[in-house]
Amino acid sequence: MDIENQLSGLRQSYEEKGYGVIKNFLASDEVERMRREARRLISEESRKDANKLQIFGNEINMKSKYFLNSSDKICYFFEKNAVDLQTLELKLPEESSLAKIAHALHSLNPIFREITTSQKVKDVYRAIGYDDPTVVQSMVIFKNPKVGGAYTPHQDASFLCTEPLVLSGIWLALDDATPENGCLEFIPGSHKWPLARRYVRTGNTQDGENLLEWTAPPKEYQDSDFVKVPVKKGDMVLIHGLVVHRSAENKSEKPRWIYTFHSYDSKHAVYSDKNWLQINENDTFLHIYDN
C-alpha cells in the first residue's frame, strides 16, 4: 500500500477509534539504531550519575523531585520488581531491570531526535491536521521479561493536558508486541469520552512532600471493552490523547521494548501549567516541523 493510502487509513482509524497502526513504519536499521542506542545509554550513561537512578511507580513519583525534574533530562527508572526494596540492590542485570529511559530523549539524544523529527513522523502529524506538533516528552519503555509491570487503564491527557485537548502519542515497536508480552489494549471510540481525571502539581516543592495528586479516583472499565492490538517490530501505533488504553505485565520470556513520544498542537492549544511535566532548566519542547 502506498504511503498516501496508509496515511488516510490511519486518519480514519484515529478519528473513529482513537488509535491507528501503520505496519513497517520503521526500517529494520532504524529499529536497530534505537535499540543499540538504548543499550549504550544503559551501559555507558545510566551509572554515571547515581542521582539519575530511581524506581518507577506512581506512589514514588508523586513525592519525588527527581521525577518532577526529569522532564528536560535523560533519566533512568527501574522496575519495582527488579529491585530488592530492602537493600536497593538490583536483582537482575541492569539491562533487564529498567522500566524506562525518559523524558527528553527526543530533544537531547541525536538518534532519538532524528527519528522523532523524520519526514514520516511529520507526514503522520500532517495527516491528522496538526499545524505545529510539539513534542513534550519521550520514553523508551522496556517491559522486560518477568519484571515488566502493567500500565493500568488511563488516558494520556491525564498527564499532559492541553486546552483545547489536541494531544497524541506515537508509539514505535522495537520488538514484536504480543498478548503474551504486554501489547497495547484500547477501548475503541473512548477518545470521544471526557477526560476522567488529571495528574497535577500540588504546588508543594520539597522532596518527600506530595508534589503531585490525582483530581479523582481511577475510573472502572470492563475488561471485555478492551481490544488487544498486537504489532510487529517496526510498526507504529498512533494514540489519541483521550483514548482509554492499558498494557499487561510481561510474564513471557520475551522483552517488549518500545520508543514513544507525545505531542500537542501548539498552534491551536495551550499546554497546562498544572501538568506534572513543565519546561525545567532547558526548553526541550520540540517543534517537529521546524527540525
- Interface with Fe ion by CB under 5 A: which residues? 156
72 or 156: whose CB is closer to Fe ion? 156
The grid coordinates of residue 187 equal 477501548
30 or 156: whose CB is closer to Fe ion? 156
Closest approach, Cβ 154 to Fe ion, in A, equals: 6
Contact 219, 207 (CB under 8 A): no
Closest approach, Cβ 179 to Fe ion, in A, equals: 18
Closest approach, Cβ 148 to Fe ion, in A, equals: 15
Q: At what angle do helices 119-127 and 3-17 cross, to 10 degrees?
A: 50
β-pair partners for 260: 139, 171
Closest to 42 measured CA to CA, from 103, 100, 95: 95
Closest approach, Cβ 1 to Fe ion, in A, equals: 27
28 or 152: whose CB is closer to Fe ion? 152
Query: Helix, strand, or coil here: 128?
Result: coil
- Report which residue's Cβ sits closest to Fe ion: 156
The grid coordinates of residue 117 equal 523529527
Closest to 109 measured CA to CA, from 34, 31, 32: 34
8 or 215: whose CB is closer to Fe ion? 215
Q: One-letter amino acid identity for 75?
A: C
33 or 246: whose CB is closer to Fe ion? 246
Other Cβ atoms less than 10 A from the Cβ of 239: the count is: 24
Closest approach, Cβ 259 to Fe ion, in A, equals: 14
Q: One-letter amino acid identity for 20?
A: G
83 or 258: whose CB is closer to Fe ion? 258
- Cα separations in angstroms, 268 against 132, 134, 158, 252: 8, 11, 19, 42
Distance of alpha carbon 157 from alpha carbon 155, whole angstroms: 5
Closest approach, Cβ 196 to Fe ion, in A, equals: 13
156 or 175: whose CB is closer to Fe ion? 156
State yes or no: cis peptide before 230, omega within 30 of 0.
no
Side-chain-side CA neighbours of 32 within 13 Å: the count stands at 3
Closest approach, Cβ 188 to Fe ion, in A, equals: 15
- Euclidean distance between the first and final Cα of the chain, in Å? 28
